[in-house]
Chain A
Amino acid sequence: MAKMNLLQAINNALDIAMTNHRNVYSFGEDTGAFGGVFRATSGLTAKYGRDRNFNTPLVEQGILGFANGLASQGSYAVAEIQFGDYIFPAFDQIVNESAKFRYRSGNEFNVGGLTIRTPYGGGIAGGHYHSQSPEAYFAHTPGLKIVMPRNPYMAKGLLLSAIFDPNPVLFMEPKRLYRASVGEVPEEEYRLEIGKADIVKEGKDITVLAWGAQVEMAEKAAEMAAKDGIDCEVIDLVSILPWDIDTVAASVQKTGRLVVTQEAPLTNGFASEIAASIQERCFLYLESPIARVCGLDTPYPLCHEKEYFVDHLKVYEAIKASMSY
């Protein structure tokens, strides 16, 4: 075990993947010898050479097009998009190409070796284009997997799974926690299951569901609620696509209440998919309406970030409202 922050855990996962497999390639804007604007790829060029960890020209659609081609050739392509906010130029390559590659060819070809790493999320004074949480855009895309870790341990195990998963995986890194989240991480290779939710804290009164950096808000809110005598079950969804409906439904059938919280805007956010599905599965168990605690339906603001941010107080209020419904 070693103490690592979330960035170090990601760097460590890339290092292990590149050591163990000759044809793992890591690339993106400024990810070469410089090591990336967040330092996630630092040291990799020195260790593996500039053929395996390198800079690309500044063109997101090119990064993903290149990555699709490299993965279809049989390599493991780990592409970085500098900010999730800038993934949209590559939307076509991801949605029309990566996600449909295996299906449309009848499994003649696939891009299973593709992993897209991108920092996401707010709370860092990033304004419109350094704060977004675009997971719901991609959650509407059959063929893609989406993973969002909440801490260094999860990040390393899930990234190693993502790289070697036989499907294209969008791996979204909570940049607010890059250095803030520190924890014990095994030094050797290990993998965590994609598609499996993680029960962070067991409870019996209400289920509080979150993913990525937002799990921290759910935990804090649960601690506050505990002082009021409310026993929250906190679940980290971990994987957005495919998502672990069984774990969430079992929890809601036990507690009878559900609060889903996400950083992204409310309308058509992934919380909506969860609310609809759980309502279908758990209709007879629900004691109160499913609550969605989300960002406002506005672009991500700068001066009002504190107001916009889905903090623990907003989640706490939703828990209390649900309990007293």
Chain B
Amino acid sequence: MAKDTKHQLDIVTKASFLDARALNIPMLQILKEDGTLHKGVDAPDLDQDTALKIFRTMQFIRILDERMIAAQRQGRISFYLSSLGEEAASIGSAAALDSRDMIMGQYREQGALAYRGFSIEEFMNQLFSNERDLGKGRQMPVHYGCARLNFMTIASPLATQIPQATGYAYGQKMDQSGTCTICYFGEGAASEGDFHAGLNMAAVFKVPVIFFCRNNGYAISTPSQGEQYAGDGIAPRGVAYGMKTIRVDGNDVLAVYHATQLARKLAVEHNEPVLIEGMSYRMAGHSTSDDPTGYRTREEEAGWRSKDPVARFQKWLVSKGWLDNDDAESHYAEQKALVLDALKAAETIAVPHVDEIIEDVYDTPPAQLKQQLEQLKAHIRKYPEAYPKTASRLDEER
């Protein structure tokens, strides 16, 4: 075979086109649907405490999601996004990281945040936009963020965090911090231009970043296969960008954990970006504003119930002797009570003072903005009954 030395290409003299099957990317699965390990496969390096923490976090997120969807239906909060069915992807991967690693998410990764130690109260304060919300009540529910826990504040525009993760990881590499960034997104967001930008730049710059795609089959009503992409999912794209890539069963927490552990090693020790595609299924609607019965069948959903990541992990923990089913149940009931208490407490806390409306636009408010606030307050004083959340507190000592 001849060589094109400039591009280091092998020359062929017969035309042949490659198609999507040229890359056949299999899926790593360690834990089978029945909760047993594949034959001859070792469980990943996972101690009992970590395993139980993962499981408890999964339970907590189940409770939180269920309770807050109900709260939205009752009109107590304006909006909610559930992560039902995808708990293993975010929690299993977060567990494989160092707590100093940065997490940049899309909006269905509350599990990763809970694993880091975001409290029930902190979740509720954000969901109720009250004055204890770290985000000062400015963003929609589920747009969490916490500097203390290295969890970058969520924003609605899809995929914008992907090139940002590359930039963040570049800074980590330059600072020789020994840390990396994980960046979550769905398979729909991977169609955005920012996905292309972020992955290509990460590969070119060789930064310590783990791109974690939650491929859950749907972007709102759009099915992934055939309408979001025509290729073999997201994983082959990582290979094409020159990046180490793996596809895992996103409902198998052991596979997710193991793959993320290895990815973190590549990222931190070798400054190699990694793409992980976690295959899963969005069991709930896209959000509380969506009804999935309009675009998919109950049979399809039922088919995925047997793959439930939480039940599957629970069976394994019990078989290991690390967990007792009764303990799991009583813990679930305790958590449920705590969530309900926190919900009731958070909804009685006032919204932030109206002065906060102009803070943080810049590091300090410009003169024009201060003037606009004074005009607004004069107006509220004139029509207090129209602005019940803030009118009585205008002169409060702050």
| Residues of chain A whose beta carbon lies under 8 Å from any beta carbon of chain B | 23, 25, 51, 56-57, 59, 61-62, 64-75, 77, 89, 92-93, 96-97, 100, 102-110, 112, 142-143, 145, 166-167, 195, 242, 245-246
Contacts and interface: CB of A to CB of B under 8 A. Distances in A.
Interface in B109-153: 133-136, 138-139, 143, 145-147, 152-153
A167 B135 CA distance: 18
A89 B162 CA distance: 15
B106 to A, nearest CB: 14
12 contacts: A68-B164, A69-B166, A69-B168, A72-B152, A72-B164, A92-B160, A96-B155, A96-B157, A102-B363, A108-B146, A109-B153, A195-B366
B82 to A, nearest CB: 22
B201 A57 contact: yes
B162 A65 contact: yes
Interface stretch (B171-179, B336-344, B385-393): B171-179
Given A69-B169, A104-B138, 4 more contacts: A51-B174, A73-B167, A89-B193, A96-B160
B136 A245 contact: no
Nearest to B133: A106
Contact of B163 (A66, A71, A96, A166): A66
A67 B167 contact: yes
Among A59, A100, A103, A143, the most chain B Cβ lie within 10 Å of the Cβ of A103
B171 A104 contact: no
A61 B201 contact: no
Contact of A104 (B153, B193, B200): B153
Given A23-B175, A66-B167, A70-B168, A103 B193 contact: no
Given A96-B155, A104-B135, A109-B145, A65 B362 contact: no
Nearest to A277: B368
Contacts of A57: 197, 200-201, 204
A72 B163 contact: no
A291 B34 CA distance: 77
Contact of A72 (B133, B136, B168, B175): B168
Contact of B152 (A59, A70, A109): A109
Nearest to A71: B167
B139 A104 contact: yes
Nearest to B202: A66
B138 A61 contact: no
A110 B361 CA distance: 10
A52 B145 CA distance: 29
Contacts of A109: 145, 147, 152-153
Given A62-B198, A103-B360, A97 B164 contact: yes
Contact of A106 (B134, B152, B200, B368): B134
Contacts, number: 153
Contacts of B146: 108
B170 interface: yes
Contact of B194 (A61, A106, A142, A245): A61
Contacts of B168: 69-70, 72-73
Instruction: Return the 8 tightest CB-CB contacts between A and B, nearest first.
Output: A65-B163, A69-B167, A62-B197, A69-B164, A73-B171, A105-B153, A70-B167, A66-B167
Nearest to A114: B167
A73 B170 CA distance: 9
B201 A56 contact: yes
A23 B152 contact: no
A293 B145 CA distance: 46
Interface of B: 102, 104, 133-136, 138-139, 143, 145-147, 152-153, 155, 157, 160, 162-172, 174-175, 193-194, 196-198, 200-201, 204, 359-363, 366-369
Contacts of A107: 136, 359-360
Nearest to A99: B361
B200 A59 contact: yes
B203 to A, nearest CB: 9
A97 B361 contact: no
A216 B369 CA distance: 31
B170 to A, nearest CB: 6
Contacts of A61: 163, 193-194, 197
A23 B166 contact: no
Given A61-B197, A68-B167, A109-B145, A97 B157 contact: yes
B174 A23 contact: yes
Given A104-B138, A108-B147, A167 B362 contact: yes
Contacts of A67: 167
A245 to B, nearest CB: 7
B375 to A, nearest CB: 12
Contacts of A112: 363
Nearest to B197: A62
A167 B360 CA distance: 10
A17 to B, nearest CB: 16
B183 to A, nearest CB: 9
A142 B204 CA distance: 33
B166 A103 contact: no
A116 B198 CA distance: 18
B165 A69 contact: yes
A61 B201 CA distance: 11
A142 B366 CA distance: 10
B138 A106 contact: yes
Among B147, B160, B175, the most chain A Cβ lie within 10 Å of the Cβ of B160
A194 to B, nearest CB: 10
Nearest to A167: B362
Nearest to B153: A105
Contacts of A65: 160, 162-164, 166-167, 194, 197-198
A154 to B, nearest CB: 20
Nearest to B104: A69
A23 B367 CA distance: 31
Contacts of A89: 193
B255 to A, nearest CB: 28
B135 A62 contact: no
Nearest to B147: A108
